[in-house]
Structure 1
Amino acid sequence: EQLLFYNNYTNKWEGKLSYVLAHFQNIVYIIVTFVLLHRYKKLLLENYSKSTETNYSWLFQMNMICLLLFIFALVKNIYRFGSHFGFISTLRLSTSIIMLGFTCWLIFKALNAPKLFRGISSNLQLASALPSNHANPELGYFYDVKAELKKFMLEKEPYLDPDLTIKSLAHQMKMEQRELSVLINTELNMNFYEFINLYRIDKAKALLKDEKFLKLTILEILYQVGYNSKSSFNTAFKKTTGITPSAYRKKFHKKEFE
Structure 2
Amino acid sequence: MGATSVLSFIYFLVHLILVIRYRSRAEQKLKYFYSSIEDKSLHWINIFIIGLLLVVILDSIAGIIFVSSGIYEVSVINLLFLLALTWYIGYNGLIQRPISENLHDFQLQKETNRQEQSSNHTEYEELKKRLLAIIEEKKLYQDEDVSLRILSEYMDVPIKKVSHLINQYLDTTFYNLMNTYRIDMFKEKVKKGELEQKTILALALESGFNSKATFNRVFKQNEGMTPSQYVSASG
Interval containing the TM-score (normalised by the shorter chain): 0.7 to 0.9
Q: Matches of 2:205 and 2:132 in 1, distance apart?
A: 22
| Cα deviations by residue, 1:27-64 (Å, 9 ceiling, x for unpaired) | 343333223323321331111111338612332x2133
The total of aligned residue pairs comes to 220
Alignment of 1:171-186 (within 5 A): 171-186=153-168
| In structure 1, C-alpha distance between the alignment counterparts of 2:94 and 2:113, rounded to whole Å | 30
State how far apart, in whole Å, the 2-side matches of 1:238 and 1:115 are.
32
2:57 paired residue number: 72
The alignment status of 1:118 with 2:96, answered yes or no, reads: yes
Aligned residue for 1:164, secondary structure, equals coil
The unaligned stretches of length 5 or more in structure 2 are: none
Identical positions, percent? 26
Compared CA separation, residues 188 and 74, structure 1 to 2 (3 A): farther
Unaligned runs of 5+ in 1: 1-9, 254-258
Counterpart-to-counterpart distance in 2, 1:134 and 1:165: 22
8 Å Cα contact 1:34-1:63 kept in structure 2: no
Cα distance in 1 for partners of 2:114, 2:135 equals 22
Deviation at 1:138, TM superposition (A): 5.3
* Paired position in structure 1 for 2:48: 63
Separation in 1, partners of 2:44, 2:151 = 28
Q: Which of 205, 223, 232 lines up with 2:187 in the alignment?
A: 205
Aligned residue number for residue 215 of structure 1 = 197
TM-score, with normalisation over the residues of structure 2?
Answer: 0.75
CA distance in 2, matches of 1:223, 1:63: 33
Counterpart-to-counterpart distance in 2, 1:56 and 1:144: 36
Name the counterpart of 2:35: 49
TM-score with structure 1 setting the length:
0.70
Mapped pair 1:235 → 2:235: no
Q: CA deviation at 1:213?
A: 4.7
**Alpha-carbon spacing, 1:145–1:133, altered in 2? closer, same or farther (3 Å):** farther
RMSD across aligned positions (CA): 3.6
